[in-house]
A and B are shown apart, each in its own frame.
Chain A
Amino acid sequence: DTEVTQTPKHLVMGMTNKKSLKCEQHMGHRAMYWYKQKAKKPPELMFVYSYEKLSINESVPSRFSPECPNSSLLNLHLHALQPEDSALYLCASSQSPRDRGVSEQFFGPGTRLTVL
């Protein structure tokens, strides 16, 4: 199974809502990532989990809260978002980071988030 799944595919939320994005992989990867992508822009890294521990937080606002319950799951909890947070949120996974640098990443299809 070389698939990364993400749910939901689309999400519309108000600025006072609390919602969660979910990501799952069963490739035995121990590195998982959240990216944010605006239209016609490259993905921007938000968070990296390595062996279920947060290893990189790219100065993301606290209204985004990641969670890695186990080696297969990655969540992104959303609270009090702003309209400018509307974007495609991508999850990815890869083999554990080693001295030779990041290996290929497998991406999910993304969640299209709209904040009203």
Chain B
Amino acid sequence: SQQGEEDPQALSIQEGENATMNCSYKTSINNLQWYRQNSGRGLVHLILIRSNEREKHSGRLRVTLDTSKKSSSLLITASRAADTASYFCATARQGGANSKLTFGKGITLSVRP
């Protein structure tokens, strides 16, 4: 079963606006990651936040993590048409040889020029 559940499932905004996407998960995690996927292409890693971190920034991206609520949010500021893509959160549980990522269902973001 999938660990992460993003909402909304689809988001349409105007260029220049901020986009906020949320992810909820069910079990304890080691870290949570966000990925972007342009149509039919491979995934691109955006940001990783560890379970002992609450907030992280990377350029126009801001990620928060609330382990008590088992939720994370991804904020993209000053959006651009090029940000149009699908966004996935992915959770990583404990490490070792059986480490793996479990992806949420994804959010489709459309940024209108």
Contact = CB atoms under 8 A, between A and B. Distances in A.
B103 A42 contact: yes
Chain A residues touching B, range:
20 to 34
Contact of B31 (A88, A102, A109): A102
Interface in B60-103: 88, 92-103
Interface residues of B, number: 30
Contacts, number: 81
Contact of A106 (B40, B45, B93, B100): B45
B105 A88 contact: no
Given A42-B104, A101-B30, A101-B94, A107 B99 contact: no
Nearest to A112: B40
B95 A102 contact: yes
Interface stretch (A14-22, A43-51, A61-69): A43-51
Given A92-B43, A107-B35, A108-B42, 12 more contacts: A42-B88, A45-B100, A90-B43, A97-B96, A101-B30, A101-B95, A102-B30, A102-B92, A105-B43, A107-B43, A107-B45, A112-B40
